[in-house]
Amino acid sequence: MSEPLFDRVALIGIGLIGSSIALNVKAHGLARHVAITTRRAETLATAERLGLGDSYHLEVTDAVREADLVILCVPVGICGAITREIAPYLKAGAIISDVGSVKGAVIEQMRPHLPETVAFVPAHPLAGTEQSGPQAGFVALFQKRWCILTPLEETDPPAVERLKVFWEACGSAVEIMTAEHHDLVLAIVSHVPHLIAYNIVGTAADLETVTQSEVVKFSASGFRDFTRIAASDPTMWRDVFLTNRDAVLEMLARFSEDLASLQRAIRWGDGDTLFDLFTRTRAIRRNVIEAGQDTAKPNFGREAGNGSSDESSA
Ligand SMILES: NC(=O)C1=CN([C@@H]2O[C@H](COP(=O)(O)OP(=O)(O)OC[C@H]3O[C@@H](n4cnc5c(N)ncnc54)[C@H](O)[C@@H]3O)[C@@H](O)[C@H]2O)C=CC1
Ligand SMILES: O=C(O)C(=O)Cc1ccc(O)cc1
């Protein structure tokens, strides 16, 4: 068997993402030792019962000592406070990373606390579900999904390469971009769609003329998909919207303008406008499927939007 990539990996936070990483480290032999730490004793006990790691710590500083890879798997709003606490205990030469859905704000929070002796490689696996907690993780979560790395100018290139190898071993395809670009792209493909889901489910729940039981009873598959998304973790998503504020507001402004033009088309019976948009969006769905983002067999050889399918042949 080949040498593990890391001696000791410390996972801070052991919810859906942390537990899925732990399972991958075990399954693929990526480290000799996995140290797990989280805030609540009950969650730590669940992680231990599930056998996710090799050691379990209520003191975050005990987990990171001697670790050569430390990954923060916590809501993005607390990354700064945790980094401040662990910074004095980080081993020289260690890689410190995260999995946050927002990158600019996480870098802003974490960077000032980190010593020059460690390499900071922010990361975001584009893989998840609406579930949370240590029992929600599964080994296949990152298989054939993207993981975006947003290294800083000063980040040591070999550390970036090492983390890339780590995520590839977990089954992901790795792409590198700036944090700013990441936050703009994710605002439209992930953050605004979650906000729309939270909003539409909230609107349906507040109606006076349709009862909640009718909403549940008659929910068509599209609405059911929204309810799945709107069941996502409230703390995590509160932090995403508060920390990716500018990009989300920019995308929401565009979304509102486009929505107003659809409203106008419906009001004035402008079927052509509706038909043209729905034809274009149908072609995008085809590209998404061909790029493998919605099937069991993704195809990373093709990027969404780069496909050769003829958009006019609806
Ligand atoms: N859920 C998803 O689909 C995805 C989430 N992410 C990102 O991954 C991160 C974690 O998300 P999940 O694993 O889904 O959340 P989760 O809610 O399942 O787990 C969060 C973990 O952080 C722990 N935690 C919370 N506050 C803490 C503190 N102050 N100190 C130590 N531990 C603390 C919790 O006890 C729990 O173990 C978030 O930053 C999120 O943006 C990234 C990709 C997908
Ligand atoms: O459950 C879903 O549909 C998701 O979209 C999962 C998800 C949530 C947050 C991320 O930053 C990445 C992926």
Ligand 2 site-directed mutation target among 129, 132, 182, most atoms within 8 Å of CB: 129
153, 248: one domain: no
CA dist 133 and 37 (Å) reads: 13
Q: What is the CB < 6 Å shell around ligand 2?
A: 101, 126-130, 190, 229
Beta strands in 140-228 (DSSP E): 146-149, 173-176
The predicted pLDDT at position 47 comes to: 98
149, 189: one domain: no
Q: Which atom belonging to ligand 2 lies closest to the Cα atom of 125?
A: 12
Q: 96-133 pLDDT, tens per residue?
A: 999 999 999 999 999 999 999 999 999 999 999 999 99
Residue 170 covered by a domain: yes
Rg of the chain on CA atoms, in Å: 21
The three-class DSSP label of residue 88 is helix
* Alpha carbon separation from 264 to 33, 99, 269, 273 (Å, rounded): 60, 41, 8, 10
CA dist 102 and 110 (Å) reads: 13
Residue 121 covered by a domain: yes
Q: What is the CATH number of the domain that holds 252?
A: 1.10.3660.10
146-149/123-125 β-pairing: antiparallel
204, 153: one domain: no
Quick one: tokens of 95? 């890689």
Q: Which atom belonging to ligand 1 lies closest to the Cα atom of 132?
A: 18
CA dist 62 and 147 (Å) reads: 28
Ligand 1 site-directed mutation target among 11, 14, 16, most atoms within 8 Å of CB: 16
The predicted pLDDT at position 294 comes to: 60
Average pLDDT of span 213-227 = 87
Structural domain span for residue 122: 6-178
Beta-bridged to residue 70, according to DSSP, are 10, 96
Q: Which atom belonging to ligand 2 lies closest to the Cα atom of 129?
A: 1
Number of structural domains (the chain) is 2
Does ligand 1 have an atom closer than 6 angstroms to the CB of 40?
A: yes
174, 32: one domain: yes
161, 231: one domain: no
Q: 44-93 pLDDT, tens per residue?
A: 999 999 999 999 999 999 999 999 999 999 999 999 999 999 999 999 99
Which of 20-29, 75-84, 304-313 has the least mean pLDDT? 304-313
